[in-house]
Every structure is written in C-alpha cells, then in structure tokens.
Structure 1
Amino acid sequence: MKRKEVILFMTVGTGTNLNSNEESSKDLAQKLFYTIDKMRPNHVVFFASDKSKETIGYIEDLFVRDNDEFIEGEDYQIVEITAIDDLNTCFETYEQKLWEFDYADNEKDYQIIMDYTSGTKTMSAAMASCGMFYSKDLISIGGDRSTGEVSRGTEIINYQNIYKIHDKFVLTRTRYNFDANRFMACIDMMNYIVDLNIHKESLLHLFKSYYAWDNMDFEEAYNHLRKVDANQMELNDIKNDIKFNLKALGNIMNSKSVNLKNCYILASLINNSMRRSEEFKYDDAIARLYRSLELIAQIELTKYNLKSSDIKVSTLKENNVSDEFIAELEKIREDGKIRIGLEKDFLLLNELGNELGKYYVENNSKIKNLTKKRNNSILAHGLDSLTEKDFDEFLDIVLNLSYTLDKDMKKFLKQTKFAKFDNTENSNIF
C-alpha cells in the first residue's frame, strides 16, 4: 500500500506591517508557522517572490526556538514566482508542482492541501482556482480582524468548501461533452457532483438515454428519456428539444403504424451518420448511410407486402412484376428463399414503377461509385479511408431518397436530431 503523505502548498507574501520590512516579515512568518505547526505536514512547498523569500528564514528561526528544525530540501522547498501579479503564471506554477506530486512519484500517495492566505491577491486567486480545478483541499487562516489583520493568538484554520463552484465547473464540462456526443464521459462526470441541489438523477437519465440512442438501442433510450424532468433548471436550454426527441422515441416504441416507426428509425440512423461526420469519422458515417440506403428500399418494399430477406414470387406476380425479372431472382434462390440486397431492392422498386426505383436507376452511376467506395472502406471490405466529400455526396443521395420516401421526413429528421446546449451549428441542415 502507498504511504500517505501530507504536502502543504503555501503562498508567501511580504507582510503588511508598515513599521519595518523586518517586522512585517517576522509577523507573517509567525502566521505561516502557526499553520505549519497545526497541520504537521510531511513537506511544505512555499511559493514566493524573490522579495518574500526572506520570510521563510524567520520560519526556520521559529522552529529552532521550539527545539525543532526546518531544513530546506528535506522539510520544505521554495518555488520562486517572478510574475506575482500574472494569474496565468501563478496558476501554471502551482499546477506544475501538483503534477510532480500527483504523477511523478508512484511510490507515495500524497494529500495536497493548499493555503492561499498570504501572497498577492493574484497569487491567492490563482491558488484557489488551481485547488478547485484539481479538487484539492483549500485552507485559509482566519481569526480576530478588529485591527484589520488577523491578531496573533486568535488564528484559526478554515477549510474552504468549494464544492458548489467545482460542481458548476463540472456541469459546464458535461454540457460541452454532451454537445460533442461524449455521453459516457458525462455519465462518469456525474460521480463528481456532490451538491444535492443539482438534479443528478435527471441528468443521469438524460446522458444514459442519448448514449443508448447513439447505439440505436431505442427501448433503453426511451425508458431513460421519459424519466427526465425537462423543466429542471440545468436542462432549461434544451427542454423543448428533449420533448421533441421523446416524441420521436415514443413513436418508435409505441406507434401502431409500421411505416411511421420505420421512418423514425431511418431518421435516427441518418442523424447518427451526421454525428459521426461531425467527429470526422467518415468511414463510420458512410457505413451508416449505406445502411440508411438499404433501409429506404426495404421500407418502401413493405408497402407492396414485400420483404427483401424473403421475396415471395406470388406477391411479385400480384404486383405485375415481369416474368424476366422474376426469372433473374429465381437464380439467386437459396435454401428455398429469395434474398436480395441493396441494388436488387431498388431495381425491384423500379420494376414496380416506384419513384425511388426510378431515382436509383437515373443516378445509378453515381450511386454505384459511392457504394464501391464504401465497399473498399476499412470498415467494409477494403483498406481505403473515406473523405468528407465522399460523405457529403452520399448524404445528398440518401436525403433525396428519404424525402421521396415520406413527405414528412424533414420533420422526422428534426425530431430525431439530438438536443444540444449550444445549438448554433447545423441548425438548418435539413
């Protein structure tokens, strides 16, 4: 088991006693000594300017007075800050030291406590910010301030509970991750929320819903989203979008119309491809568009009571499909069933005089070129990588066909577009 050691970070100012620099430094040294004596850390890291370093010498004298010792290199170290009024410099100096303790030494387990009482206002503000950012314990020294400063002998150590500020920072990060479709990261970040006034339960259901929906698990997504209270303050920016999304998932789960259900699934799949494109995962995005293209034909075939996984010849004849076309299909009969893929689906629709089939035939060269690229993709049968241009061309084909499939497809696409806290981009894509 790692040994637990307490490391005390302390900012060091120049004191405020106006009588003399020496008296000022000694007065400050006494206050810093009080904290060190009470905290009993294993090691102290002083953050000081060149001018304030002499104060640390007086702290050594106070230890000697108590028949103790305080040795540089063993008991403490000094980290000099040259730009004591530059927030970024101060923050980065503290941060670098934190990293050294948190990541450089795997043999020990450090508890870092940060005392921001002394130093310039900028040094203190930077240390408080750094402690909040990295979830470290923050302390300050309080006491009787009737004379303006904390009177000697009245000092008390105050632990600063900054969980509310930290939780708001976490919420800001979850909003960013949510908009970037990093739903699992959002779920994980909820473990760091401690403020009971934050509606964690609704947020967790929200993130779990969109995680499931992104993986095309509609039932799981619906069950979680219906438990979200969209009227909570944290969800105010997206409450209307949540209601639209819930309606879409509700239709997928509960609609008695097979066509309506399938159209919402198709819209979800197209939006899924859009999200992969936003992440520059074009091979992944086009794989979803390819499936969308298949699904469009399959949905349309159901209107003729035809199923591409088991084509019934009797149904073909009822729909006046030519004997020549039926003979071609009979050649691919296997295990007693005629199963057809994307191209044959659309050619059959063309035989049926369907607009989708006609569009496919008219754009056959372009569609075949795109599907060939998809087939040569690393996520299909080849080793090629696809581009944004390939995706845009494929998306154009799929959208045109989907609009022909159902006159309400633009509505379905909007209702299945994921809610975003910052919804300024791609708002008019459909």
Structure 2
Amino acid sequence: MKRKEVVLFMIVGTGINCSDEDGARLVAQKLYSTITKMYPSKVVFFASEQSKNTIPYIEELFAQDNDEFILDDDYQIVLIESIDNFNACFEVFESKIWEFDEDIMNDYQIIMDYTSGTKTMSAAMACCGMFYRKDLISVGGDRSHGEVSSGTEIINYQNLYQIYDRISIARARRYFNSNRFMQCIDILERIVDVRFDKESSINICKSYYSWDIMDFENAYEYLKKVDLSNFDLIEIMEKLKKNLKALGMMVNSKSPNLKNCYILASLINNSIRKAEEYKYDDAIARLYRSFELIAQIQLSKYNIKSSDVDISVLMEKNVSEEFIEYLKKTEEDGKIRIGLVADFLLLNELGDKLGKYFVQNESKIKNLTQKRNNSILAHGLESQTEEDFNQFLEVVSELAHKLDKDMSRFLNETTFAKFDLRFE
C-alpha cells in the first residue's frame, strides 16, 4: 500500500509586527520547530501580506542545518486577505483541502496546525479541519513567560473522536425521527466511543425498519435485544417498552381480535408516517388497507371471512336471500370473495354499527375510495393531496375507534418513538 504524503497546513502568525525582524524571526523559529518535528512532504503556509515576510527566515533556518526549503517544491504560500473574517478564512482553508483531496495522482494526509495567526484564523482552521475530519494539532510547551518558550515546544494532536461521535449521534437521531432507519444504521456503525450503546441503538433501527415494512416478527426479535435500562435511551425508554408490548401482542397473542387490532393500529400509524414524508399516495394506500381490515376484523366476530364467505353462516345470521344472491355474483373457483364495499354492506345486513356507519356516510366514503382508485398507486394516474389524506384518515380513525374501545391505546403503543432534537 502506498504511504500517504503528509501535507502540513500552517497559519503564519500575525500577532507580532512582522516589520520587526526579531519578532518575525521568533515566529519563524516556532514554525520551523514544528516543521522539523513533523517531517511533512509539503507545507502550506496561510499568511497575510504582512506575515508572509516571515517565511524567508524559515528558509534561513533550514539553510543553517544544511537543508533546503524551496518554494513550490517544499512549500507554498496562500494569501488570506481578510484575516478577521471567519467565512473568508474558512473558504480559503476549504479550497486547499479540496485541492489536495481531489488530486487523483496522490494520496495526502492533511494535518492542520491552528496554533498561530489571529483568533479568527485559528478558529476557522479548527472548524474547517473538524468539518472535513482532518488531523488537528496545536503547539504547547512552557508558558511560564506567556508565550511558549523556544525549545520546549510539544505538538498536541487533538482527539476529536468524541466530538465526531456527538455530531454523528445528532445526525443519526434526525434520520431516526425521519424514519430513515437504514441511513441511521450507517451513521451509528461509525461511532467509536465504547461508552455509547451502539448495539442497542442499531437494533432499535432494525426493529423499526422491519416494523415499517410490516415484518412484525423480526421487529419484535430486534427490539427484544435492546437494553432498555441503558442511559442513552432514557429519553425514549417508556415508548420502547410500549412498542415491545405491542409487537409481542402481534406476534404471540392467542386472541385473533387483539392481534388484529394492534396490526390495524400499526397500519394506521404507518400511513401517518408516510404522510409526514409527503408521500400521500403511499399513505392513502395504507389507509385503504386499514379501512378494509376494519371490516374484515369485524366480520370475523361473526365467523365470516371476506376471502371465503360461507353462505350457510349468512343464512344462520338471517341475511336476506336478495343480498346473498348479490354476493354470489362474486363467486369464482367455488369461493365467494368480497371487497371493501361489500364487506361493509354485509355488516349493515347483519345490523352491525360499522355497517350502519358506512351506509350513513356512503356518498362521502365512495368519493374518498374513488380518489384512491384514481391514484397512481392504484388504478389511475392522479396524485393524492394532504387534504385527501386527512379526509380519509378522519373516516378510518372514526371507524377504528368504533371497532374497539381500546383503539386509542393500540395507536399509542404502536407509535414510533422520537428523540428530542434540542442541543444540550
């Protein structure tokens, strides 16, 4: 593997009047000391018109050691015109980083020494280095006389991994709150701080990703692996416990009605998440399925399956012969399969409250379902709007609450956790 060439970025001090030869030589000596300790392949000096006059003294120091320090071969000078303008300084540093990073012929390791220069220049270089994940160094030593005494210089590498991790965690939380769970995992994988429970956070993301695609079993298995006592998760702990309970019910409950109600709540919450992402066609498609599922759950209480309607059960329930004949028209391959409208009309025939609600609001509901049928994700080419979604959600929510008195609890327990994104 080819060794990286080290490029040392250095700010040429401007705090001393560079027309003062003694002052300029002192700055040159400090820069020279750092260069000889680092042995870079190239040095990039960032200087003002005034402070660039210090650099010839660095050449002299190399010559005194029988060495050469040649412009363009060993170093280059980049002028900064506005040394007290943070953005201007940042842009100059940034452009040089791009220059070296985009050199396809060479592989450079950039080390940035922000010790010298104005406070603005130093701050801009430190921020730029952190932003682009470059190595940052500062020069310390004996400061008993104010400045670092010559001959006592020590190069301090700044360990920024904790800062990078904090930035990564903040980014991951934003992705998490936006339901971008796979991108969140990619970020979490790069965190190096062993004090952070990376494994639990990744398992939460895997759980929610699985849950979002209705893979309840995997969602449950991943969430079971999470250490719910971990301090990193204290902010969302209670919600995770509710989520674990809900997934457990969907996977393990012996009550079909309870299991189906949790699945319905998950589906409704899934549609709400899609709407939050402005994916209204996706959201309405999920609401349509929720609407259909409500009828199917209610019919199951009468021992009726809409995918295979048993005529003898309908006769036992005193469903009219006329309506039975209507349903028989859908018979295919010896099975009677009925859709959403017929589901609710059958519930109405049974005297069920959900069927009555449908008939009372049939015009409004058919208008909503027709819009869904015209969606590009159904049978048409039209795009749905936020207003379409809200109107559909209102009807589905009302029916869901009529289906089961505990629907508010089911919806709450299947709502995904969200992090507070305020900076501490």
TM-score higher than 0.5 here?
A: yes
1:12 maps to 2:6: no
Which range moved further: 358-367 or 213-222?
A: 358-367
Kindly provide the amino acid, as one letter, of the partner of residue 97 in structure 1.
K
Map 1:77-226 to 2 at 5 A: 77-102=76-101, 104-226=102-224
Which range moved further: 64-73 or 335-344?
A: 64-73
Map 1:316-355 to 2 at 5 A: 316-355=314-353
Kindly provide the amino acid, as one letter, of the partner of residue 416 in structure 2.
F
Give the alignment partner of residue 236 of structure 2, picking from 235, 238, 245. 238
* Change in 2 beyond 3 A, CA 1:343/1:198: same
Match in the other structure for 1:359? 357
Distance in 1 separating the partners of 2:409 and 2:227: 24
Give the alignment partner of residue 297 of structure 2, picking from 296, 299, 317. 299
> SS where residue 369 of structure 1 aligns?
helix
Distance in 1 separating the partners of 2:99 and 2:317: 75
Distance in 2 separating the partners of 1:25 and 1:229: 59
Distance in 2 separating the partners of 1:396 and 1:171: 36
* Change in 2 beyond 3 A, CA 1:30/1:90: same
**1:371-426 deviations in Å (ceiling 9; x for gaps):** 222222222222221111111111111111111111111111111111111399xx
* Change in 2 beyond 3 A, CA 1:270/1:50: farther
Q: Normalising to structure 1: TM-score of the pair?
A: 0.91
* Change in 2 beyond 3 A, CA 1:53/1:250: same
Give the alignment partner of residue 413 of structure 1, picking from 401, 411, 414. 411
> SS where residue 139 of structure 1 aligns?
strand
Distance in 2 separating the partners of 1:107 and 1:361: 74
Q: CA RMSD in A?
A: 2.3
Kindly provide the amino acid, as one letter, of the partner of residue 154 in structure 1.
T
**1:256-283 deviations in Å (ceiling 9; x for gaps):** 2111111111111111111111111111
**1:343-380 deviations in Å (ceiling 9; x for gaps):** 21111111111111122222222222222222222222
Kindly provide the amino acid, as one letter, of the partner of residue 351 in structure 2.
G
Match in the other structure for 2:40? 41
Contact map agreement 1:2 1:107 (CA 8 A) in 2: no
Kindly provide the amino acid, as one letter, of the partner of residue 167 in structure 1.
D
Distance in 1 separating the partners of 2:52 and 2:323: 92
> SS where residue 170 of structure 2 aligns?
helix
Distance in 1 separating the partners of 2:179 and 2:376: 23
Deviation of the 1:68 alpha carbon:
4.2
Deviation of the 1:97 alpha carbon:
3.0
* Change in 2 beyond 3 A, CA 1:97/1:269: farther
Q: Which 5+ residue runs of structure 2 have no aligned equivalent?
A: none
Which range moved further: 297-306 or 114-123?
A: 114-123
Distance in 2 separating the partners of 1:423 and 1:34: 45
Deviation of the 1:82 alpha carbon:
3.6
Kindly provide the amino acid, as one letter, of the partner of residue 374 in structure 1.
R
Contact map agreement 1:356 1:404 (CA 8 A) in 2: yes
Contact map agreement 2:6 2:109 (CA 8 A) in 1: yes
Which range moved further: 79-88 or 184-193?
A: 79-88
Which range moved further: 133-142 or 320-329?
A: 133-142
Map 1:223-302 to 2 at 5 A: 223-302=221-300
Deviation of the 1:154 alpha carbon:
2.6
Give the alignment partner of residue 393 of structure 2, picking from 392, 395, 398. 395
Match in the other structure for 2:58? 59
Kindly provide the amino acid, as one letter, of the partner of residue 85 in structure 1.
D
* Change in 2 beyond 3 A, CA 1:365/1:48: farther
Which range moved further: 391-400 or 240-249?
A: 240-249
Q: Which 5+ residue runs of structure 1 have no aligned equivalent?
A: 425-430
Identity between Structure 1 and Structure 2 (%): 66
Distance in 2 separating the partners of 1:340 and 1:21: 94
Distance in 1 separating the partners of 2:106 and 2:2: 5
Which range moved further: 287-296 or 370-379?
A: 370-379
> SS where residue 53 of structure 1 aligns?
helix
Kindly provide the amino acid, as one letter, of the partner of residue 316 in structure 2.
E
Contact map agreement 2:296 2:306 (CA 8 A) in 1: yes
Contact map agreement 1:15 1:27 (CA 8 A) in 2: no
Contact map agreement 2:15 2:118 (CA 8 A) in 1: no
Q: Normalising to structure 2: TM-score of the pair?
A: 0.92
* Change in 2 beyond 3 A, CA 1:328/1:274: same
Kindly provide the amino acid, as one letter, of the partner of residue 99 in structure 2.
E
* Change in 2 beyond 3 A, CA 1:116/1:19: closer
* Change in 2 beyond 3 A, CA 1:142/1:392: same
Distance in 2 separating the partners of 1:101 and 1:393: 56
* Change in 2 beyond 3 A, CA 1:324/1:318: same
Distance in 2 separating the partners of 1:395 and 1:106: 54
Which range moved further: 235-244 or 55-64?
A: 55-64
Aligned residues: 422
Kindly provide the amino acid, as one letter, of the partner of residue 8 in structure 2.
L
Match in the other structure for 2:74? 75
Deviation of the 1:302 alpha carbon:
0.8
Distance in 1 separating the partners of 2:221 and 2:253: 15
Distance in 2 separating the partners of 1:305 and 1:187: 44
Contact map agreement 2:18 2:51 (CA 8 A) in 1: no
1:31 maps to 2:30: yes
> SS where residue 306 of structure 1 aligns?
coil
Distance in 1 separating the partners of 2:191 and 2:220: 25
* Change in 2 beyond 3 A, CA 1:57/1:291: farther
Which range moved further: 178-187 or 31-40?
A: 31-40
Distance in 2 separating the partners of 1:29 and 1:66: 14
Which range moved further: 59-68 or 162-171?
A: 59-68
Distance in 1 separating the partners of 2:175 and 2:35: 41
